[in-house]
């Protein structure tokens, strides 16, 4: 039972955290408040009752629709809640204890940033700064990797992608990377240290290539000017890298 206490606890906490993070993802790009007032249906605006706010369960019982107006509930709500549950359980299994909680926070923030980048090609500075600050804080508490490795990773990650973006713009006279991508890689570096950053970038690039190839197999055309949410790809790659880093340390 003790072995399952942390995975279970972080899984439950992930469902609760995911409910709030999903609201951020759905409402923030539209300029709607995520902290004021009671929760409402996105379609009809009716105030939701407590029974409508149980993560995952409420949407399942309502068959993904608002009880008042019957409008479909944005699927991102349950998807992000489920993703946060999985992240919490994996963190608790990988390293039971406060370090597992820190890893879960890392994953939850990455998931939120990935969802925002996919939905709106947007990596909010406030959220990226929160990720960076949390990584720095765990380093100050003595969690591996060392604080020096984290600082080098933070500065090196930002500088590397910034130079790539600047070089591309100088040659092609247009932006090739969003302004948030270097900041995100820098924040990831403050969690993983500099040694894991090449792995993260490689995994992100391979994931992006896979997405493009799958799209082409389904009949979609691909061009050099097509946009991909590279920040989301970095975020998706960073959490498995954290699990790998942890496994190597153990």
* The total number of structural domains that make up the chain: 2
**Residue 226 has what pLDDT?**
72
Contact between 10 and 104 under an 8 Å Cβ cutoff? The reply is: yes
pTM assigned to the model: 0.93
* Mean pLDDT per 10-residue interval, the chain, length 250 residues: 85 96 92 72 79 87 85 92 97 92 97 97 97 96 93 98 93 87 98 96 93 83 75 96 78
Q: Is residue 144 part of a domain?
A: yes
Task: Give a yes or no: residue 106 inside a domain.
Answer: no
> Is the same domain home to 125 and 189?
yes
Q: Is the residue at 215 inside a domain?
A: yes
DSSP notation for 2-62: HHHHHHHHHHHHHHHHHHHHHHHHHHGGGT--SSSS--B-TTT-PBPPGGG-STTHHHHHT
120 and 23 together in one domain: no
* pLDDT value of residue 155: 98
pLDDT confidence of residue 78:
94
Predicted pLDDT at 166: 93
Cα(145)–Cα(143) distance, integer angstroms: 6
Residue 108 lies in a domain: no
In a domain, 84, yes or no: yes
Q: Report pLDDT for 164.
A: 94
Question: pLDDT tens across 97-114, in order?
Answer: 999 999 999 999 999 999
User: Are 118 and 213 members of one domain?
Assistant: yes
- Domain with 51 in it: 1-96
The predicted-structure confidence for 72-90, as pLDDT tens digits, reads as follows: 889 999 999 999 999 999 9
pLDDT score of 223:
63
- Would 204 be classed as within a structural domain? yes
């Amino acid at each position: 039972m003790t072995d399952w206490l942390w995975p279970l606890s972080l899984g439950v906490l992930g469902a609760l955290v995911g409910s709030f993070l999903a609201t951020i993802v759905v409402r923030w790009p539209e300029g709607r408040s995520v902290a004021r007032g009671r929760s409402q249906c996105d379609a009809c605006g009716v105030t939701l009752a407590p029974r409508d706010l149980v993560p995952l369960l409420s949407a399942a019982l309502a068959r993904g629709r608002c009880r008042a107006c019957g409008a479909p509930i944005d699927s991102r709500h349950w998807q992000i809640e489920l993703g946060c549950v999985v992240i919490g359980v994996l963190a608790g299994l990988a390293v039971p204890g406060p370090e597992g909680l820190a890893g879960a926070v890392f994953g939850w923030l990455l998931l939120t940033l990935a969802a925002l980048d996919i939905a709106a090609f947007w990596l909010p500075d406030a959220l990226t700064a929160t990720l960076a600050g949390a990584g720095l804080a765990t380093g100050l508490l003595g969690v591996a990797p060392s604080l020096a490795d984290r600082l080098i990773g933070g500065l090196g990650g930002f500088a590397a992608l910034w130079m790539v973006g600047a070089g591309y713009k100088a040659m092609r006279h247009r932006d090739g990377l969003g302004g948030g991508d270097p900041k995100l890689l820098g924040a990831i570096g403050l969690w993983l240290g500099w040694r894991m950053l090449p792995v993260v970038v490689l995994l992100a690039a391979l994931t992006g290539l896979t997405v493009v190839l799958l799209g082409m197999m389904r009949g979609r055309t691909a061009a050099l000017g097509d946009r991909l949410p590279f920040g989301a790809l970095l975020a998706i790659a960073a959490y498995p890298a954290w699990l790998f880093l942890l496994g190597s340390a153990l």
